[in-house]
């Protein structure tokens, strides 16, 4: 192992310590396993069922390891590579195929090689496809989880039911057909990413209650999906307990006692578990040119309008000016679109060579990063301090 690789593998106190030790000219993800563990415990101790981590949110091996060591044993997977990654790293973990549309060869491999038994569907043709590709095995251990469309919830970043989900009448038919084929059945929904309306879960559970009553089938499971939010600048989430109270109330009110209940948190588990250390490579008046941007770790600032907490990191040299100003932030690619839509408020004497810590990037950062123009953020180190977002 090279000296640089060994230094990268170390744990540091905070961003200043990383900047002082590595003096990185490349972006560095600052991973906080202790924060990931705290987030995981909050769900594991309070959610009334199984907690499935949504792997697509951040599939980095160190993230998965931190969540696994914190007690997460169930994983929401949407592709064969995700299933393989989890299953091969943690043989005792359980994966669930939560993508409503799957290739035939992928279904067969997931079922025969990795032992997947839960498959989400939202259409009759997908039901038939999965039945055909799993025909070598017993039907009784196969679970079809029917995904319902739910109404748009206020305060969500992405309304995920716009692409997937079926109507109530379609769900009734799918449940009945799957049960008639000798399989177990369940229901699922997703209220939308970064949902800031706890009541959306109660509304969705009422829909599930109507469908279950109309179908007259025994549900093996009920998946309340993801959507649990994280805190961002000017987007502080309601307390987690409000969401869990709504789920518990909805389960009781709609007769779901005794049904195995799942949730699929992604953003709420990992957003606060990682920040990003970037470097200023040039300053032009109120414009900064840094080494990461919308094609790398910060695409959600464009796609979802998220504002992220930031602070200047200058481990050596003069103390930052108490005066602040707004800066336009340009990414590293040779593309005029690579400009962050929100300005960063930072000390007015910010200069080339300074670093900026960007917090709350654990969700959909490295998972969405591209290598466009040859720039690709890939370095992870561990830090031990608290997230900046604690002060939001």
Which domain CATH number covers 176?
Answer: 3.20.20.10
CATH number of the domain that 329 lies in?
Answer: 2.40.37.10
pLDDT at 21 over 50: yes
Share of the chain above pLDDT 70, in %: 97
The whole model's pTM is what? 0.94
264 and 347 fall within a common domain: no
Average pLDDT over residues 21-30: 97
Q: Single out the residue in 241, 270, 299 at which a domain terminates.
A: 270
Give CA torsion, residues 182, 183, 185, 188, to 10 deg: -140
Q: How high does pLDDT run on average in the chain? A: 95
17 and 115 belong to one structural domain: no
Q: Residue 317 — pLDDT band, cuts 50, 70, 90?
A: confident
Q: How far is residue 7's CA from residue 28's CA, in Å, rounded to a whole number? A: 13
Q: List, for residues 287-306, the tens digit of each pLDDT value.
A: 999 999 999 999 999 988 99
pLDDT level of residue 390 (50, 70, 90 thresholds): low
Look-up of token digits 């997931």:
110
Q: Using alpha carbons, list the distances in angstroms from residue 161 to 148, 226, 244, 269.
A: 8, 12, 21, 22
In a shared domain, residues 163 and 210: yes
Domain count, the chain: 2
User: Does 220 share its domain with 81?
Assistant: yes
Among residues 270, 303, 320, which one ends one of the domains?
Answer: 270
pLDDT at 7 over 80: no
pLDDT band at 360 (very low <50, low <70, confident <90, very high): very high
- Both 243 and 322 in one domain: the answer is no
Q: Which of 40-44, 164-168, 191-195, 286-290 has the lowest mean pLDDT?
A: 191-195
| pLDDT of 388 strictly over 90 | no
Range of the domain at 283: 3-31+273-391
Q: Is the confidence at residue 3, as pLDDT, over 80?
A: no
pLDDT(2) > 50: no
Are residues 332 and 198 located together in one domain of the fold?
no
Residues 42 and 172 in one domain: yes
Quick: pLDDT tens for 224-256: 999 999 999 988 999 999 999 999 999 999 999
């Amino acid at each position: 192992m090279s000296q640089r690789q060994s230094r990268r593998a170390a744990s540091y106190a905070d961003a200043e310590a990383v900047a002082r030790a590595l003096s990185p000219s490349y972006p560095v993800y600052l991973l906080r396993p202790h924060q990931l563990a705290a987030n995981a415990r909050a769900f594991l101790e309070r959610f009334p069922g199984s907690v499935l981590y949504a792997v697509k949110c951040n599939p980095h091996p160190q993230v998965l390891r931190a969540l696994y060591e914190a007690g997460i044993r169930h994983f929401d997977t949407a592709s064969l590579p995700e299933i393989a990654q989890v299953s091969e790293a943690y043989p005792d973990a359980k994966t669930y195929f939560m993508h409503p549309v799957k290739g035939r060869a992928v279904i067969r491999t997931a079922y025969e090689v990795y032992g997947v038994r839960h498959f989400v569907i939202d259409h009759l043709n997908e039901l038939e496809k999965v039945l055909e590709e799993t025909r070598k095995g017993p039907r009784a251990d196969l679970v079809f989880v029917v995904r319902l469309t739910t109404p748009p919830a206020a305060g969500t970043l992405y309304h995920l039911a716009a692409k997937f989900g079926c109507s109530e009448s379609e769900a009734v038919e799918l449940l009945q057909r799957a049960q008639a084929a000798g399989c177990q059945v369940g229901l699922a929904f997703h209220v939308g990413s970064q949902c800031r309306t706890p009541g959306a879960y109660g509304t969705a559970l009422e829909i599930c209650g109507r469908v279950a009553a109309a179908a007259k089938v025994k549900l093996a499971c009920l998946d309340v999906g993801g959507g649990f939010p994280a805190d961002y600048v000017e987007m502080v989430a309601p307390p987690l307990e409000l969401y869990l109270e709504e789920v518990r109330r909805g389960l009781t009110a709609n007769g779901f006692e005794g049904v195995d209940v799942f949730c699929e948190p992604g953003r709420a588990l990992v957003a606060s578990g990682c920040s990003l250390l970037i470097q200023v490579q040039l300053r032009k008046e109120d414009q900064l040119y840094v080494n990461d941007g919308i094609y790398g770790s910060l695409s959600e600032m464009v796609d979802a309008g998220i504002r992220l907490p930031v602070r200047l990191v200058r481990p050596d040299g003069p103390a930052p000016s108490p005066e602040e100003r707004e800066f336009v932030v340009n990414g590293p690619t040779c593309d005029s679109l690579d400009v962050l839509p929100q300005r960063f408020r930072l000390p007015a004497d910010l200069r080339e060579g300074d670093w900026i810590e960007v917090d709350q990037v654990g969700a959909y950062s490295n998972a969405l990063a591209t290598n466009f123009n040859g720039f690709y953020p890939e370095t992870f180190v561990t830090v031990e301090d608290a997230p900046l977002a604690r002060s939001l």
